[in-house]
Chains A and B, each alone.
Chain A
Amino acid sequence: MKHAISVRELHVSYFGNEVVRDVSFSIEQGSMVGIIGPNGAGKSTLIKAMLGLIPSDKGDIRFYGKETNEVRKQIAYVPQRSQIDWTFPITVMDTVLIGTYPSVGLFKFPKKKEKAWALECLRKVGLEEFRNRQIGELSGGQQQRVFLARALAQKPELLLLDEPFVGIDVASEETIIHILKELQLEDKTIVVVHHDLSKANTYFDQLLLMNKELIKFGATHEVLNREVMSKAYAHQLQFLEKTEVHA
């Protein structure tokens, strides 16, 4: 099996405060992996560092055996939803079209072929009829589907999604999961930073549990047991126990 991602001894810190500590793992092509862990466990940081969006202190990151910069076109990233200007003068269609920018290249514009493909991607997420709306006029779930469509428009081999299900409706969540599973069948690799433990076992084949350090990476059922989980959520558990005593 080919490794789509391999991370070796990755350390990341914010102003000397270590957030990701000595994390190593390899993800096989065609797998769907959930990254889980408590708040502040460094899950989003891990993804950002893998993409080179924030500097890492140490470590080696390879996608298909190559450095990140060599394979950027093949990697689609869906960041947390809140970070953009929702009043920007851009339509849903033009937002999806951005996904074709890396393949269009410098000094050129998306043509008919790219536009048809972007519309096709918009159809896949069920938002074709909203194509001329301004992006801020959509609901949270619809917006998240638009960003998935933009990721699809990139024709990626690998998708990294950061908390895609936070604050969205059930129908949108189901649409997104359905599309991700379809992509997996096409041998694409999917990594999702995930919050909601209750659904982790139905969504993912493998889980990566971390709390600054990597605690366990393995098949979903191996990770989702009390003993392993308590290592990551130790502080929360202690807190719960304390409050119980006081109560």
Chain B
Amino acid sequence: MEFLQAIGQYEFLQKALFTSVVVGMICGVIGSFIILRGMSLMGDAISHAVLPGVALSYAFGINFFVGAVITGVLTAVGIGYVSQNSRIKNDTAIGILFTSAFALGIIMITMLKSSTDLYHILFGNVLAVRPSDMWVTVGIGVVVIVTVYAFYKELLLTSFDPTIAAAYGLRNNLIHYLLMTLLTMVTVASLQTVGIVLVVAMLITPAATAYLLTDRLWVMIYLAAGFGMISAIVGLYFSFTYNLASGATIVMVATGLFLLAFLFSRKNGVVWKSLRARQKRVELSK
């Protein structure tokens, strides 16, 4: 109740809520493709790799969005290049490149700004969302949703069956880098809400929850977006009421939803599976 009153009262809280809901939604949408393509680690990598870009943007006084997208995409390209042109496997290439980008970012931020800023970038500070940040997030949200809608067929096909995609003359690489660009944008939008360190949870946990509940891609995307939004709202409530870091509470709610699906999903839930197995054994023993 207090939370609802506070929302009505404080503009900063309205902005925080609105921004986190948008972030929850687009993280779910992009996250669905990330987990289906087996790129969860890539999500973690890109989110860390935006740090030097953010630092550079501070240094040159430009919008942090620009720098973040540049270093994010550069890292994605670098990972692809290293894993395709050496015997280094993809996960190792990801590990090497994102940690070095992250380390570089930490050094740059510390040299340029105070450590409080670093703390906010790493862990998020949703209550300090400025109107301009909110509009950047909304803009990113629109771009992400329009792009996913427009290229839905291509995203589905390259994720499910890249060989047939290539036989149809589709460039798998182009779709991959399109997705990496969207991923970078979503990460940047999430910086203030959940912070760099926990972005990956917002990307993969709601999507993984949805994945356990359906056999249709579009349903999965809607569910993932829904779970992302619920996590944002409920998480912000806990954050506000108990004065906790918003990123952490949002992620904990998302994890709670995942656990429920993991245990009780009708088709894949651990509980129903073991019940069905037991029933079968009882039937046979009669």
Contact = CB atoms under 8 A, between A and B. Distances in A.
Interface in A91-138: 91, 94-95, 98, 101-102, 104, 106-107, 109, 134
Interface stretch (B53-61, B69-77, B94-102, B166-174): B166-174
B214 A53 contact: no
B216 A89 contact: yes
Contact residues of A: prevailing secondary structure: mixed
A77 B164 contact: yes
A95 B161 CA distance: 10
Interface residues of B, number: 24
A83 B162 CA distance: 9
Nearest to A105: B153
Given A72-B169, A109-B152, A109-B153, A89 B214 contact: yes
A51 B216 contact: no
B81 interface: no
Nearest to B214: A89
A155 B27 CA distance: 38
B41 interface: no
B163 A79 contact: yes
A88 B36 contact: yes
B40 to A, nearest CB: 14
A90 B163 contact: no
Given A84-B161, A88-B36, A89-B36, A102 B215 contact: no
What are the 9 tightest A-B residue pairs by CB atom distance, in nearest-first order? A134-B215, A77-B167, A72-B169, A79-B163, A88-B160, A84-B161, A89-B215, A89-B220, A89-B217
8 contacts: A51-B167, A77-B164, A85-B160, A89-B216, A89-B220, A101-B157, A102-B168, A106-B154
Given A79-B167, A89-B216, A106-B154, 17 more contacts: A77-B167, A85-B38, A88-B160, A89-B36, A89-B211, A89-B215, A89-B217, A89-B219, A91-B215, A98-B156, A98-B157, A101-B153, A101-B168, A102-B169, A104-B153, A134-B215, A150-B164
